[in-house]
Structure 1
Amino acid sequence: MMKFVSVILLLSAALAGCSSPGKPGAAPSQTQDVNRQVRVQQTAPQKKEITDKQAVAQRLEQIAATVPNVESANCVVFGNTAIVGINVPHDLDRAKVGTVKLSVAEALKKDPYGVDAFVTADMDLGQRLHKIRDQMQSGRGLNGMAEEMAAIIGRIIPQMPRDVDPIENPPAQAEPQLPNRSL
């Protein structure tokens, strides 16, 4: 039995010495893959540039209005960002409103300009969007509208904890110490 075990050990040592040349300790597949480079193309399309803002806003409003339970839609395009506010019946419960909002987002996803749009079903934001759209159509200044759009986007986009910089507190002033008097 001892002879049999020693013969197997010698054969395995001999076979281990006959392996393919490469780096010591590296598997053959690793040495072959070292010289290959993997190239990956970006699969997500870039955001489409919006040139005619009013036409894009009307188009996105029409798409959103075709979804069931959407009474009306207001869209504002500022720069290369579109925000679509939808108005739903007042008697819908919260879960159904979320479903309608998701349906609008799915409908807008098929449009090259709507794929990156923000969708909101908040009544207050919808009213603000309606006012901004009316102001833009009447030719009012961009300064106030830019601030209003920033406030709207700030309400839609959640605050991420990793984006918050810690606020450094100024060092507390040391209280003056009274001399230690012993009696």
Structure 2
Amino acid sequence: MRTLQGCLASAAVLCLLTAGCGTVARNETSPSPQNNSNVRAQQTEPRAKAITDSKSVAAHLEALAKGIHGVKNAHCVIVGNLAVVGIDVDSKLERSRIGTIKYSVAEAFRKDPYGVNAIVTADMDLSERLKEIGADIRNGRPIQGFSEEMADIIGRIVPQMPRDTIPKDEHTEQSMNKQAPKINKNL
């Protein structure tokens, strides 16, 4: 009886092995896109177009952003092939709603060859600064206007540490020391 069960088990294992090997052999003979140079993938995403006319591209992206529900106004600045777009939304909206509107603008830009690599911000201060940079560019002061606004932006980002301040003169320092409370340095 044991030999019969052993033979049946051996036969079952042999069948499984041959069936498994047959499957591997069939998969190896099927055509593979990696091995076939005639198979081409079609790009579904728009490719970014080189920006040659920054004024018209800025106007185009502003109009595209303004077409999104919830966007009151948009300001675009082009630097090389990079577009930075600030959107104005109702300041009374909740953050989550503002984020949704910003995402909708980015989604619309994703489908546009000029907007696919754009940066979108809904920050009110940055949007206002982009508006001022755009006005400076239109008024013929692109470099000076840009550098002034960048200095203002960096000034907001970099914190001012009290220990880094230097009094203007000794008289100012002495008057500040008289008004300042005494600190016990032995603590």
TM-score, normalised by the number of residues in structure 1 = 0.62
- For structure 1, the 5+ residue unaligned runs are 153-183
The 2-side partners of 1:147 and 1:27 are apart by 67
Q: 1:141: Cα distance to partner?
A: 4.4
1:28 matched residue in structure 2: 25
**In the superposition, relative to structure 1, how do residues 148 and 41 fare at CA in structure 2: closer, same or farther (>3 Å)?**
farther
**In the superposition, relative to structure 1, how do residues 32 and 138 fare at CA in structure 2: closer, same or farther (>3 Å)?**
same
- For structure 2, the 5+ residue unaligned runs are 154-187
Deviation per CA, 1:5-41: give whole Å up to 9, x if none: 343356468768978999xxx94246546x9561663
Q: 1:133: Cα distance to partner?
A: 0.6
1:76 partner SS: strand
2:113 partner SS: coil
The 1-side partners of 2:18 and 2:114 are apart by 62
| RMSD of Structure 2 on Structure 1 (CA) | 3.7
1:137 matched residue in structure 2: 138
Deviation per CA, 1:64-85: give whole Å up to 9, x if none: 1122222211011111111110
Amino-acid identity (%):
39
Which letter does structure 1 place at the counterpart of 2:95?
R
1:98 partner SS: helix
The 1-side partners of 2:72 and 2:136 are apart by 22
**In the superposition, relative to structure 1, how do residues 21 and 8 fare at CA in structure 2: closer, same or farther (>3 Å)?**
closer
2:2 matched residue in structure 1: 2
Question: Which stretch shifts more, 121-130 or 1-10?
Answer: 1-10
2:68 partner SS: coil
2:175 matched residue in structure 1: none
Q: Answer whether contact 2:46 2:116 (CA < 8 A) is retained.
A: no
Q: Answer whether contact 2:133 2:145 (CA < 8 A) is retained.
A: no
The 2-side partners of 1:76 and 1:114 are apart by 12
Written as runs of structure 1 = structure 2, the 5 A alignment for 1:39-118 is 41=41, 43=43, 44-118=45-119
The 2-side partners of 1:122 and 1:138 are apart by 24
2:179 matched residue in structure 1: none
The 1-side partners of 2:19 and 2:84 are apart by 64
Residue 126 (str. 1) matches residue 123 (str. 2): no
The 2-side partners of 1:17 and 1:67 are apart by 61
Which letter does structure 2 place at the counterpart of 1:113?
Y
1:74 partner SS: strand
**In the superposition, relative to structure 1, how do residues 134 and 96 fare at CA in structure 2: closer, same or farther (>3 Å)?**
same
Count of residues paired in the alignment: 149
Q: Answer whether contact 2:84 2:118 (CA < 8 A) is retained.
A: yes
TM-score, normalised by the number of residues in structure 2 = 0.61
2:71 partner SS: coil
